[in-house]
Structures are given as structure tokens and as C-alpha cells.
Amino acid sequence: MRSRSRTFKNRIYAQFARVGKALSSPKRLELLELLAQGERTVEGLSREASQTIANCSRHLQVLRQANLVETRKEGTYVYYRLADDGVSRFWLELRALAEERLAEVERVVRDYIELKDDFEPIGCSELLDRLRKGEVVVLDVRPEEEYRAGHLPGALSVPPGEVERRLASLPRDREIVAYCRGRYCVYAVEAVKALRKHGYAARRMEQGIPEWRLLGFPLEVGGTAG
């Protein structure tokens, strides 16, 4: 009986370890975060993650073998996506655990993401309420491909580096809220800095599309930068 019990434990923990092994690479965690924004081609992922296509493909295969991602083919392109919302939720919980247990996480954030907010970053619930009241203008400052995959209702697509070029089209009589991929994405930080430099009232949403989606809040799909 003891031998049977040990065999069971060895086999079941070996299966759990497959997921742990798949998540043991920083590059694979970055790919999960990118895919939490929406499905992407291997080429698009390799570009955003600063990897060669060959290395990116190998990392994606490891994630696929652990059933964390799925694929579809369109012509000559292979598109990857998270297997389901459970994977997105697990990634956010893993990140939260690291934030809680590792002081180094906050030190890295302080070293690289410096934004002295006059106001606290706005949360998802407050932003949705203000959106419905027409009190804010929302900027999606992620790459346009991610905007098309899913964005906040009424959000304007202003891809990275485009904020200053678009200033003339932004109203000054309403607060502007910029969002990107989440807390560890610098696009929104850079956008808010640029807006404030030119006298706009601007804040950032600290969360990203994955948190917004998991809260069951509405998303729009499609559209282009205008």
C-alpha cells in the first residue's frame, strides 16, 4: 500500500512540476504577460520581447506543452493565445506572491519606474464609473496590435512614442487617464510624464487589460490609431 501511495505522489507532483518548469524562465513569464493582452504571432511576440524568432518559438513550445497557451494558424502565420482566463489569473497571482515575498521586486520598480504621482493611480472600478459619466479621456498607449485585440470602451489608441504628436487632438477640460499592460509596463508612465509636461491633468491606471477583463468589465475589439 505504501509503495502504491508513493508511486501516486511521485507521479502527481511530477505533473505539477511541469507547470513550474514552464514558468521557470523570465522570458516565458514575459511572453505570458504579452499574451494576456491578446493573441499574437510568433513574429510579434519575438519583436516585443526582444528575442529571436527561433528562441521565442522554443519558449512558446514549452508553454504549449504545459497547456498554458494554445495556437491557431492563419495562412503562414501561427497565432498564440493564453489557454483561458485561468492562466491569466494564475500569472497575476504569481506576480502578487512575488511582490509580497520578495523585497527586491519593489526595489527594481523604484529603480526603473519613477513617477511622483500628485494623485494615486486610478483603479479599474473608479475608472469605469468615471468613463460612464464622461468625466475622463482614456488613452491606450500599448502597441496598436494590442489595442485592436481588446481595449477599454472609448479608449483612444496612442501607441508608444506618439503622445506628443497627438497633443493637439486631446481636450484640456477633462482629466486624461493612460493605461498600458499593467504595473510593470512603462508606456503609461511615459505618457503621463509627457502629458503633465504640457500642462494636461493626467493619471495612469495601474492595472492593465488582464485585470480589467477578469473583473468582468466591458472591452471593445478592433479599431485603429487615429
Just list the catalytic residues: 180
Provide the residue type at 35 as one letter: L
Residue 22 CB neighbour total at 10 angstroms? 20
Judge whether 35 lies within some domain.
yes
Judge whether 24 lies within some domain.
yes
Judge whether 93 lies within some domain.
no
Q: Is the pTM of this model over 0.75?
A: yes
Q: Do 121 and 75 belong to one domain? A: no
Final residue in a domain of this structure, among 44, 72, 88:
88
CATH number, domain of 168, equals 3.40.250.10
Calpha distance 209→153 (Å, rounded): 12
Helix then strand then coil, in percent of the chain rounded to 5, is 50, 15, 35
Calpha distance 1→71 (Å, rounded): 42
Show the domain range for 49. 2-88
Cell numbers for 22: 514552464
Count of domains observed in the chain: 2
Final residue in a domain of this structure, among 73, 88, 103:
88
Query: What does each of the 226 residues of the chain score in pLDDT, given as a tens digit?
Result: 678 899 999 999 999 999 999 999 999 999 999 999 999 999 999 999 999 999 999 999 999 999 999 999 999 999 999 999 999 999 999 999 999 999 999 888 887 776 555 557 899 999 999 999 999 999 999 999 999 999 999 999 999 999 999 999 999 999 999 999 998 898 999 999 999 999 999 999 989 999 999 999 999 998 765 5
Sheet architecture: strand order including 40-41:
40-41, 77-82, 69-74
User: Residues 6 or more apart from 126 whose CB is under 8 A from it?
Assistant: none
Calpha distance 119→189 (Å, rounded): 13
Provide the residue type at 208 as one letter: G
The answer to whether residues 52 and 43 touch, using CB atoms and an 8 Å cutoff, is no
